[in-house]
Amino acid sequence: MRVNHFAGTGKLLKLYLRRDKIILPIWILLPMLAISGQISFVKAMPDWQMFINELSASPITSAILGPIVPLSIEGAILWRGLVQASIAVMFGAAFTVIRHTRTEEASGRIELVFGRPVGRYANLTAALILTFGGSMLAGLLSVAALIGNGFAITGSLVAGLTLAASGFVFAGIGGLCSQIFEHSGSARGCIFGVYMLTMVAMVINNIGGGATYWAWLAPESWFRITLPFEENHVWKFLVFVVLSALPMIFSYMLLIRRDMGAGLITHKEGTDSASPNFNSPMVLAWWQQKGSILAWAIGMAFLGGIMGMGTPNVSEAISFSFAHMDTEWASAIVKLGNQEGFMAILIYMLGLMGGLSVFAITVVQRLRREEKEHYAEMVLSRPVSRSNWMVSYLAVAFAGSALILLVLGLASGLGWSVASGEFSHFLRVLGMSLSKIPPVWTIIGIAALLYGWIPRIGSILNWLILGIFIFIEMLWEVGIVGWSAMQWTYFAYAHYSIPIHELSIVPLIVLTVIAAALTWLGVIGFKRRSIG
Amino acid sequence: MNVIETRELTKYFGRQAALKGLDLTVKQGEVYGFIGPNGAGKTTTIRILLGMLRKSGGDVKLLGGDPWQDAVALHKRLAYVPGDVTLWPNLTGGEVIDFLGSLHGKVNPSRRKELLDRFQLDPKKKCRDYSKGNRQKVALIAAFLSDVELLILDEPTSGLDPLMELTFQECIFEAKKQGKTVFLSSHILAEVEALCDRVGIIRQGKIVESGTLEELRHLTRTTVTVELVKPMNLTLLQGVYDVSQKEGKWRFSVDANAMETVMNVLAPMGIKFLTAEPPTLEELFIRHYGDKLGGKESK
């Protein structure tokens, strides 16, 4: 009998399309929005020509975001636009695959499907097709945005295909993680880890001038290989497609060999009784979060250490034109110096804007999940007050984020100090990292407030607020808005542009008080609403 | 023809043995009750039968095919209800029923409506708003809606109310009338007693007893209540257990093979009143599991 492992793929694909009416369009549209944003952004600048000349003259931006290639308006758009767009596509693709494979398996829903005449590969295949289509569409929409703004068709196409390819490869990695881990949360965590590694490769490539082989390991830098609007290496897109097929092939090989519901990593038996200290919601909250806190701390130690050691490679030379740029941003960087600025920006990105913001929001969203999965009921039906339960989780979030920032500061400070032989850097870097604690706590406070009052849309609002603040930050960097706009965000009060010894402590104390007040309000909301 | 047949079936999870040589035979057209305590291996067996788990050893045949190799072809001929039904939270019950049905082919609209009515399910609700029982109903309706030869049901009624339990039993009787085979794993012994032609009792990964209910009963004791004219002490009789006396009536249980001897002893004593109750499945079950060591006295 011929075995049709793919039977039912089409029907599952339809189901997934039906189920993904919100999440899929978001990550498909985001890249186009990011690119369009960059287009209007660059065009809105009074003199973009001068801007790109000067930015490419700055060793510090080259080190972080890489040199602008080609040195034209297109290059200026892709330089940042594609990095942002690829974040959306890479995570969107990987999470979509995980959502339809491992999540379905862990929830048991897949049993209903596989009890029907559905092939063993149908589920993974449908998820991959969906993600492939999504990545392609995200790429093509970005192409449309570029062409619509009058840029060359070939270059736009190469840029869009390169973007789509970053989705392909992360779809494959998502599929692979789904085979390896028994829980979808671990699979998603693994994606974060893989993304961090690609970021390391990206920065190493950028420090090395932007055209090293490291770029192959960083899908967000693949446009430095295909070089849209310059050499337009379309054939390299085909190499990416072949590359992304590898994790997919592995996924299929693992899938056919394993039992439904099982992963590669099996679980050992635990203890038969709880330790006497395991006796409060606080311990429970810690127990549930410690894995992710530990993973974040290790990740930050790794990234911070590597970046710290790379810092002495950043040239301290400041070009004449850059020194005379008249944005607030440029003068701040000149004042800091390149190495100090590089470190400050990295700590800022990892410790606040990019990294810890995500940690803070996801860790508070854990509350929502506990509630939705009815775990909260089991605890709250015992003599445990609602405020006790909620504050326990938040306390772990507060302490955990502080711990991760401490680790980040220690690792980056040590890395830089050891590599340069200059230990005076250590305390300054540690200070930079610790100064991010109050703003991160404010994020937790906002998340707690939203969870307490409007849990259903709270999580989306959380990400939206973060997105808006990041957008304000970008506008400020190119001089479209002034510092007064930045001051509406929690970013401003531990900002990288302020030298650490000039950072004033009062706003940080105020932020801490605000975080406490928001948390308190959130708890009040939670006590007043129904659960479930 | 045997619809399900396993020989010496084993399944290991790491070093832990879930099935230790399971022999199971389900004949065409019968309703087979698969009973056993939690963790005995019922769900593992079912998942192997469905090709979701790979067997570690032994033979397994389902509808004449290999459940792992021929999963797709075999699943066209069966419908399955898992024990723990989770559904897609943002789809309605009706959508789930149609989607699952579409995997089998066409959904018969009149049959769909009939089942929705019988199980009193509101198909417009989102699955996240269904209670456990209602989720179970969605899975049951989806299963009964498919025109298949074999129904594999893993504790399908654990969340249903007594009325719905009756509806479920009706549906099983209908399926049986149409010549379908039903493999029913259950905890609800009254349900098994009401529905099943044959029963298999699984314990620690092995079938410890199987046969028709009559056969199983034959293996164990009958409870007898008797009122005698002449006084006598029943406690001394061979094959008689749990003797008690209340308001002049003796009550005891008696081994099947001792029945003749006991009756011969009782008859001359003048029987004024006598009832003999066959053991309920529950009693059978408890006799198999009640002791810590394993049903050594059952044979």
- Confidence (pLDDT) at A90: 96
* Closest CB to B52 among A107, A109, A260: A260
Q: In chain A, which residues have their Cβ closer than 8 Å to the Cβ of B71? A: 114, 119-120
Which chain B residue has the Cα nearest residue A122? B72
- Taking an 8 Å cut-off on Cβ atoms, the answer to whether B86 and A113 are in contact is no
Stretch 53-112 of chain A: residues touching chain B, C-beta under 8 Å: 107-109, 111-112
What is the DSSP code string of A55-76?
A: HHH-HHHHHHH---SSSSHHHH
pLDDT at A214 over 90: yes
Query: Which residue of B43, B86, B103 to mutate against A (max A Cβ within 10 Å)?
Result: B103
Query: What is the average pLDDT across A424-443?
Result: 94
Q: Give the integer Cα–Cα distance in Å for A285 and A210.
A: 43
Tell me how far CA of residue B66 lies from CA of B31, B60, B70, in angstroms.
22, 7, 6
Q: In chain A, which residues have their Cβ closer than 8 Å to the Cβ of B80? A: 111-112, 115-116
Query: Which residue of B10, B45, B52 to mutate against A (max A Cβ within 10 Å)?
Result: B52
| End-to-end Cα separation, chain A, in angstroms | 49
- Confidence (pLDDT) at A272: 77
Task: Give the closest-approach CA distance of A120 to chain B in angstroms.
Answer: 8
* Closest CB to A109 among B50, B87, B90: B87
pLDDT at A413 over 90: yes
Q: On the CB side of A25, how many CA atoms lie within 13 Å of its CA?
A: 5
- Taking an 8 Å cut-off on Cβ atoms, the answer to whether A115 and B80 are in contact is yes
Tell me how far CA of residue A317 lies from CA of A206, A243, A343, B199, in angstroms.
17, 38, 16, 85
Tell me how far CA of residue B211 lies from CA of A106, A360, A382, B216, in angstroms.
36, 60, 46, 6
| End-to-end Cα separation, chain B, in angstroms | 28
State how far Cα A263 lies from the chain centre.
25
Q: Give the integer Cα–Cα distance in Å for A455 and A21.
A: 20
**Contact by Cβ (8 Å): A250, A169:** no
Which chain B residue has the Cα nearest residue A266? B14
- Taking an 8 Å cut-off on Cβ atoms, the answer to whether B103 and A118 are in contact is yes
- Confidence (pLDDT) at A60: 75
B27 sits in which H/E element: strand B16-27
- At residue B299, the 3 state secondary structure works out as coil
- Taking an 8 Å cut-off on Cβ atoms, the answer to whether B91 and A18 are in contact is yes
pLDDT at B183 over 70: yes
Q: In chain B, which residues have their Cβ closer than 8 Å to the Cβ of A117? A: 72-73, 75-76, 103-104
Q: Give the integer Cα–Cα distance in Å for B108 and A38.
A: 54
pLDDT at B293 over 50: no
Query: What is the average pLDDT across A373-380?
Result: 83
Least confident of A153-157, B132-136, B235-239: B235-239
pLDDT at B135 over 90: yes
> A384-407 b/e with 16+ CB inside 10 Å = b?
bebeebbbbbbebbbebbbebbbb
pLDDT at A316 over 90: no
Least confident of A114-128, A214-228, B233-247: B233-247
Q: Give the integer Cα–Cα distance in Å for A487 and A467.
A: 16
Total number of residues shown for chain B: 299
Which chain B residue has the Cα nearest residue A3? B70
Which chain A residue has the Cα nearest residue B99? A15
* Closest CB to B99 among A15, A114, A119: A15
- Type of residue numbered A515: A
Two structure tokens written together for B57: 């050893």
Other C-beta atoms within 10 Å of B264: how many?
9
- Answer with the residue of higher pLDDT: B97 or A480: B97
Could you tell me the pLDDT band of residue B299, with boundaries at 50, 70 and 90?
very low
Q: Give the integer Cα–Cα distance in Å for B18 and B11.
A: 5
Q: Give the integer Cα–Cα distance in Å for B239 and B243.
A: 11
Two structure tokens written together for A17: 């399309």
- Confidence (pLDDT) at B295: 40
Least confident of A43-52, A307-316, B241-250: A43-52
**Contact by Cβ (8 Å): B130, B97:** no
- Confidence (pLDDT) at A241: 94
Which chain A residue has the Cα nearest residue B65? A1
* Closest CB to B72 among A111, A117, A259: A117
Task: Give the closest-approach CA distance of A114 to chain B in angstroms.
Answer: 8
- Taking an 8 Å cut-off on Cβ atoms, the answer to whether B86 and A108 are in contact is yes
- Confidence (pLDDT) at A322: 67
Could you tell me the pLDDT band of residue B83, with boundaries at 50, 70 and 90?
confident
pTM: 0.83
Could you tell me the pLDDT band of residue A49, with boundaries at 50, 70 and 90?
confident
Other C-beta atoms within 10 Å of A144: how many?
15
Q: Give the integer Cα–Cα distance in Å for B37 and B186.
A: 9
- Confidence (pLDDT) at B291: 56
- Confidence (pLDDT) at A324: 67
**Contact by Cβ (8 Å): B169, B194:** yes
Two structure tokens written together for B101: 């049905």
Say whether the ipTM exceeds 0.85.
Answer: no
**Contact by Cβ (8 Å): A434, A405:** yes
Q: Give the integer Cα–Cα distance in Å for A180 and A176.
A: 6
For chain A, give the percent of residues with pLDDT over 70: 97
- Answer with the residue of higher pLDDT: B80 or B38: B80
Tell me how far CA of residue B50 lies from CA of A115, B68, B82, in angstroms.
6, 7, 11
pLDDT at A3 over 80: no
Q: Which residues pair with B183 in a beta bridge?
A: B32, B152
DSSP annotation of A287 reads H
pLDDT, averaged across chain B: 88
Q: Does A3 touch chain B (CB under 8 A)?
A: yes
Q: In chain B, which residues have their Cβ closer than 8 Å to the Cβ of A119? A: 71-72
Q: Give the integer Cα–Cα distance in Å for A450 and A117.
A: 44
pLDDT at A267 over 80: no
- Taking an 8 Å cut-off on Cβ atoms, the answer to whether B73 and A1 are in contact is yes
Which chain B residue has the Cα nearest residue A111? B82
For chain A, give the percent of residues with pLDDT over 90: 54
Q: Give the integer Cα–Cα distance in Å for B85 and B157.
A: 11
* Closest CB to B104 among A1, A109, A117: A117
Other C-beta atoms within 10 Å of B190: how many?
13
Query: What is the average pLDDT across A462-466?
Result: 92
- Taking an 8 Å cut-off on Cβ atoms, the answer to whether A260 and B152 are in contact is no
Q: Give the integer Cα–Cα distance in Å for B140 and B157.
A: 9
Beta strands in B55-187, from DSSP E residues, in sequence order: 57-62, 78-81, 150-154, 181-186
CA B199, B203, B208 angle in degrees (round to 5)?
Answer: 55
Q: Give the integer Cα–Cα distance in Å for B10 and B57.
A: 5
Q: Does A379 touch chain B (CB under 8 A)?
A: no
pLDDT at B213 over 70: yes
Least confident of A3-12, A268-277, A408-417: A268-277
Q: Which residues pair with B11 in a beta bridge?
A: B19
- Confidence (pLDDT) at A99: 94
The side-by-side arrangement of strands in the sheet containing B181-186 is B78-81, B150-154, B181-186, B31-35, B198-203, B206-212
Chain B residues within 8 angstroms (CB to CB) of chain A: 13-14, 47, 50-54, 65, 69-73, 75-76, 78-82, 84-88, 90-91, 95-96, 99-100, 102-104, 139, 142, 152
Q: On the CB side of A506, how many CA atoms lie within 13 Å of its CA?
A: 0
Q: In chain A, which residues have their Cβ closer than 8 Å to the Cβ of B53? A: 259-260
- Taking an 8 Å cut-off on Cβ atoms, the answer to whether B71 and A109 are in contact is no
Q: In chain B, which residues have their Cβ closer than 8 Å to the Cβ of A11? A: 99, 102-103
Could you tell me the pLDDT band of residue A332, with boundaries at 50, 70 and 90?
confident
Helix, strand, coil % in chain A, rounded to nearest 5: 75, 0, 25
Written in H, E and C, the secondary structure of B218-239 is HHCCEEEEEEECCCCCHHHCCC
Q: Which residues pair with B22 in a beta bridge?
A: B9
- Answer with the residue of higher pLDDT: A440 or A73: A440
Q: Give the integer Cα–Cα distance in Å for A88 and A515.
A: 29
- Answer with the residue of higher pLDDT: B295 or A296: A296
DSSP annotation of A261 reads T
Output A204-211 pairs: Cβ under 8 A, ≥24 positions apart: A204/A310, A205/A66, A206/A62, A206/A63, A206/A64, A206/A65, A206/A66, A206/A67, A207/A62, A207/A63, A207/A310, A207/A313, A207/A314, A209/A67, A210/A62, A210/A66, A210/A67, A210/A69
- Confidence (pLDDT) at A264: 76
Q: Give the integer Cα–Cα distance in Å for A365 and A457.
A: 11
pLDDT at B114 over 80: yes
List helix spans (H) across A258-354.
281-310, 320-323, 328-336, 338-348
> B52-68 b/e with 16+ CB inside 10 Å = b?
bbbbeebebbbbebebb
pLDDT at B220 over 80: no
- Answer with the residue of higher pLDDT: A447 or A326: A447
* Strand pairing class (B206-212; B198-203): antiparallel
Contacts for A316 with CB less than 8 Å, ≥ 6 apart:
A59, A337, A338, A339
**Contact by Cβ (8 Å): A344, A496:** yes
Q: In chain B, which residues have their Cβ closer than 8 Å to the Cβ of A254? A: none
**Contact by Cβ (8 Å): B291, B271:** no
Cα-based torsion angle of the residue sequence B68, B70, B76, B79 in order, rounded to the nearest 10 degrees: -20
Stretch 7-26 of chain A: residues touching chain B, C-beta under 8 Å: 7-8, 11, 15, 18-19
Contacts for A362 with CB less than 8 Å, ≥ 6 apart:
A292
Q: In chain A, which residues have their Cβ closer than 8 Å to the Cβ of B95? A: 18
